[in-house]
Amino acid sequence: MLYPIIALLVGFIILVWSADRFVIGAASTAKNFGMSPMLIGLTVVSFGTSAPEILVAIMASTAGAGSLAVGNALGSNIANIGLVLGITALVAPLPVRSKVLKQEIPLLLAITLLAGGVLYDLYLGRIDSIILILSLIACLFLFTRFQRNASDEDIADEEEELPELPTSWAFFWLITGLLLLAGSSRLLVWGATEIATTLGVSELIIGLTIVAIGTSLPELAASVASALKGHTDIALGNIVGSNIFNIAAVMAVPGLLMPIELESIVLLRDYGMTLGLTLLLALLALFQKPPNISRMEGGILLAVYAGYLALLYNMSV
């Protein structure tokens, strides 16, 4: 078990370092090309940090384990809100701008509800996957519209948060950080999975916990690094965008490659928790004036996630 332990440690170290480089590159690229931090978080950062989930989905589907891919997509969304957002809010409370409440979070709720409709018959086929992909295209179109309609005040506030970096170096760190994030997260997941298998942990627990948490580590590293640097738009936008990508892109993979039938527990427990946490995120953002995710609310999200892990453990023994 020595090599998996080494992979776990090395993967974590590279992950943290590359997340810092990636955030700097993403923020600088946003400024140099006239894009807002929120748009970068919702598109480039979100797609990049969702790459591990997409890779896991492809590998699982081609190996005939499409249910693991669906579980990983839902489990990653649960981890993103409960674990990633919870920890990020504990590090630095996240103010929620009105446009996030009116645009991005409702869009995430709509995509999550669409996923419920797709999974309701406990079958994920090619038509279902095409519907999810079309919803992703629609989201990208709306993100562009949101950016064009942003006020001058919003744009000015966001530009003040951005670091100065030449375009060539900004793009270099954006791409390098992206590649290292994806590679290190895969290394970390492999090490964690090997350790769990050696210790006799069930595949269900591995898929919904270690794999989901492992593939969410880029979101955690990027979001915490963004929050520490004061780029709160990137931190929150990264989580919202990643969850949209997980549902619309990652979950579509098994249906495209190998349509599958799902167990009812996937809809009742895992999708139910995904929808519940998404609704909780919206409510917590509205709870305080001005809207924000406070440290206390971050603790609530972590507590809910811990309860979900306890439920998984109790149902697996």
For residue 290, say if its preceding peptide bond is cis, omega within 30 degrees of 0.
yes
Cβ atoms of 214 and 189 within 8 Å: the answer is: yes
Tell me the backbone φ, ψ of residue 145, rounded to 5 degrees.
-65, -40
Cβ atoms of 91 and 236 within 8 Å: the answer is: no
Strands 123-124 and 292-293 come out as unpaired
Range with the lowest mean pLDDT among 32-36, 267-271, 307-311? 32-36
pLDDT bracket for residue 299 (50, 70, 90): very high
Reported as a single tens digit per residue, the pLDDT across 40-94 is 666 666 666 676 777 777 777 776 767 777 888 899 999 999 999 999 999 888 8
Whether the pLDDT of residue 157 is over 60: the answer is no
Sign of the dihedral defined by the CA atoms of residues 111, 251, 42, 215, in that order: positive
Cβ atoms of 278 and 81 within 8 Å: the answer is: yes
Distance from C-alpha of 156 to C-alpha of 10, rounded to nearest angstrom: 39
Whether the pLDDT of residue 30 is over 80: the answer is no
Q: What is the pTM of this model?
A: 0.79
Distance from C-alpha of 27 to C-alpha of 35, rounded to nearest angstrom: 9
Percent of the chain with pLDDT over 90: 25
Amino acid, res. 74? L
Query: Which single residue is written with the structure tokens 């979001």?
Result: 223
